[in-house]
Structure formats: structure tokens, C-alpha cells
Amino acid sequence: MLNDGGSAVDAAIATLICEGIILPHSMGIGGGFFATIYTKSTRKIETLVAREMAPSRSRKDMFVGEQNIQGARAGAVPGEILGYWEMHKKYGRLPWKVLFQPTIKLCKEGHWVSKYLAAAIQSKLTEIRNEPSLSEIFLKEDGTPFVEGDYMKRTQLGITLGKIADNGAGELYDGGEVGKLFIEDIQKLGGIITEDDLKNYKVRWEDTNHIIANVTGGYTLYTTPLPSSGAVLAFMLNVLTDSHTDNEEIYWQRVVETFKHAYGQRTNLGDMENEPDLKQTIEETFSNLISQEFADHIRTLIFDNKTFNYYEYYGANFTHVEDHGTANMAVLAANGDAITVTSTINN
């Protein structure tokens, strides 16, 4: 895409669409993402929050007491395609349709199954066998799972992407055939997403609320605000300031302990807009994570010769279930423009 005159954002969108079929266990058009965009000519940083949102009919206690939170009922309103659309309107150079063509071709002609996808299929084989909509994708005609080196086609996904390429994001979000079929399928499987949920979904641009951290070496980190973990990344880099040593064992001890403190703090974060009961805790944790004074304090809790086997020492609260399935990418264009994206389908 860059060689064809596209922008960094064009290249990122095309790559993300492709990753959605190569790494479907990590990301895809049913998920959402965070993006940080840098324009060199203006030195401007913008972040985009295009994460999934809970359906309007959901309740915060709807899964209380339930061990199984899989299936269509646990599905959220996807933000991926509308996020691509909004980024392209602002920063794209190539036609929208062009960004989809390489992946549509892969869907129709097929692609090799990587060891990562093969391992993901194997790890969820029971769930795949029990769900026909997954079986028809990840099991071969003889009922055996795809393995590394097999050739996989995604014909139906190619058709779906073709319609979105032709008609824009409205094909999914504003009454298009893809959106109607999506709602029909997910409700048939017990989901609660509605057409109004799709129509009411909005991405969020931030040009002043992103996180900035000065890190070792004279570099400046720009990253995404809540509900992302951008503050966690800034915290880790701030704690590790001046922590380098030629003693490799001590250096990695400091790194690992820093990560443990960071991910302990991460368990106290969330989405303030949708978790009002936790707003005070989230605000306090967020303020701490971007504070140099707090980073200095945590550094005093890290020792070169010992660690701790109780999670409270690291500030962790394990009442929240961790999510899984994420892909990260970065594009740097020849003109100095850049974009980083973290995209996910959660579990």
C-alpha cells in the first residue's frame, strides 16, 4: 500500500484486514481497536478509540454467578470496521475499496495455516466442534481440524468484505445487508445486539487526552487513554528509567518486577464511562500510573535479590477476568507519518 502511494493509515488498515483472516483468534472485523496516529508535518498526535461496546439491552450483572460467558450472548457491538472507516476518511489516500482487495483475494484463493492459528484451533477444539458456525470454518470436510501447513479458504468472509469494500462502513452499521444478516445470526444464537446498537455506535477521537511520558534516552512516548493500557506502558517505562545495568541477571530481575507491579495496577483499571461504581478507584489508579512520583515510589519496592509470592504486594485485584486475543502492529511511512494499532476480539 505504501508503494502504491498510500498513507501510513492506508497501509495499517489493509494490514489489519489481512491479519483478521490470518490471525482470526486474535482480531477481526467483529472486534475493536485503539490507534495512535502521528503526522510528522504538523507534529500532531491523535488517538482513536474504536473498541467494542456493550449492547443496549445488556446489564452489568447479567453474567453474575455464571462460569460460562461464551457465545453470542456475550458478544459486544463491534467497532473495527467503523474505526477503519473513520481513520480512512481523515488520513486515507487510496480508495477505500483498494484496501480490501488483497485480503478478499486471500479469502477466495486460500492461505497457509500458521503454527499460531493451528495451536489456537487445537486449544479450542471442543468449543469449535460444539459450535456449527465455528466448525464450518476451522474443521476440514472430514471433520478434522486444520493444522499447520494446511490450506484454508474463507469464501464467505471474502464475500462479506467485498460488500463492505463496495458500500463502506454503512454496510454493517447503517442498515446494509451485512449488518442485517449479522443481527439475524447473532440473535438466532441467543445474542442481544440490535440494529439500533450498530447505528448508535460511535468511535472516539482524542487529540489532547492521549498519554505522554518522557522515557530514558530522551524519547517521548505517546499512547492511548483509558480504557486502553497506555498508562500501564508509560508506568513501566517510567519505573525502568535509569534501571539499566551491565549485570544481566539484575537487569531482568528489575524488568520482571516492574512488569509485575504494572500488571498488578492494571487490574484496578477499567472504563470510567461504563463503570461508574469503580470510577474513583480507576481515576486514582490512572493518576498514579502517569505520575513520576508514584513510579519513583514503586522503584523503592523493587529489590535486586528477592521477589514476593503474594499478589497484594504488587497492588493486584483479581476480581476481574483477563481478556485474551490481541494483535499489535505499527507502520512508519517514508514521509515520517506513523501509526500504531492494538486490535482485539477479547476472548
Query: Annotated active-site positions, please?
Result: 326
User: Whats the size of the chain, residue-wise?
Assistant: 347
Burial 98-131 (b: 16+ CB within 10 A, else e): bbbeebbebbeeebebeeebbebbeebeeebeeb
Integer Cα distance of 303 and 301 in angstroms: 6
The answer to whether 51 is annotated as binding is: yes
How many other β-carbons are positioned within 10 Å of the β-carbon of residue 291?
Answer: 15
Among candidate residues 339, 345, 311, 347, the one with its CA nearest the CA of residue 39: 339
Q: φ and ψ at 152, to 5 degrees? A: -120, 135
How would DSSP label each residue in 261-295?
HHHHHHTT---TTT-GGGHHHHHHHHHHHT-HHHH
The answer to whether 290 is annotated as binding is: no
219, amino acid identity: Y
The answer to whether 17 is annotated as binding is: no
The answer to whether 344 is annotated as binding is: yes
Annotated binding site for L-glutamate: 51, 344-346
